[in-house]
Structure 1
Amino acid sequence: MLMLPNCVEYVLSYYAILRLGAIVVQVNPGYQREELSHMYSIAEPCLWIGESIHKEKVEPLKLQCLFVDEELSTGTNENLERVSLPEVTVNASEDVAVIQFTGGTTGIPKGAMLTHRNLMANVVQTFAFAHGTYERGEEVFLGVSPFYHVLGMSSVMNQGLYAGATIVTMRKWNVEQGLRLIETYERRTFQRFRRSILVF
């Protein structure tokens, strides 16, 4: 279970999980014990990644926990041990990459299984729809939409990586900070930016 606000650690954890051939279960950090318990019973995760402020919420799940707090992201990686990763074979059309829980508008949230092919198809279709307006390696995507939501995952993280874009993360939308970032990067405004502010 990946339960973080928009941050560098979210992006790193998401792609590390996929690289290991495991399944990402994205969780809103605002969820409480009952919602987490429901998701746990469906997805049956073996690891929870989040911030220590949520420790009491996840303790009843008896999961192995990895707490990724902000102050840890300011250090260097020179003390990290280098490890070799196992080769992982993924069947893109069959293997589930992400369990994305729905908003629960018709009852309790349901876990939608997205394969690796589903994720790539979305990215490729969006690029085709853009008719060559993206410049690979030149784009800056502002991470306003929560990454745990399918919009943030698909439109910012996955498309950003595919575009070779710089992804600027925002833990939570803030008008002043958002305007500063837009001015700082002076790049094209990502087309979903305005709509995502209204939603979140």
Structure 2
Amino acid sequence: MEMTQQYADLGPYLASDEAVDHHHPRVEAAAARLALDTDGAYAYARAAFEFVRDAIAHSADSGDGRAPWRASDVLAARTGLCHAKSIALTALLRARGIPAGLCYQRLADDDGTGPMLHGLVALRLPETGRWARVDPRGNKPGVDAQFSPVGERLAWVVREEFNEVDYPVVYAAPPAVLLRVLKSARDRSELWRNLPTGL
């Protein structure tokens, strides 16, 4: 899928903000640990992806009721929904100078009901020179997301017959409609109930 930048230049995709707080000591320390065993941007990006996918639990899968959303808090809690995990991965990538942003899908239940916004990450590696989407939500039976900048291996492929959508925009920060919900939710169940159904 062809991705569209929200901004003309890459500066915003390297910036720190209240959600993607990659200058936080906890994010910097995690990035430094991941970089120890990697050589180059591609290897680091893969290690960061696999860390967030595998070492940070998807809270709906694990039953954890917490709802962290800021990258540093997600790394501390080691849990979060797809949006939190995407923010954490974006921060880890930016911490090592890899342009990264947030992108989204609208997904639905198998009968087409219950639309919900699903969070992904887009990154630009020197090796490819273009945006590539990855999905760090965490694997489970029926879900096999992989680090694959050439040829996407996301958790889900959208189904147009159910009005599912791949949104092409790479956002530098969570869209305001989503950020409000992330910041105000007291727990995962409240967050889940109030997630936007689209952008």
Query: For this structure pair, what is the TM-score category when the shorter chain's length is used for normalisation?
Result: under 0.3
TM-score by length of 1: 0.27
Which is helix-richer, 1 or 2? 1
Relative CO higher for 1 or 2, CA cutoff 8 Å, sep ≥ 6? 2
TM-score by length of 2: 0.27
Compare CA radii of gyration and give the structure with the larger one: 1
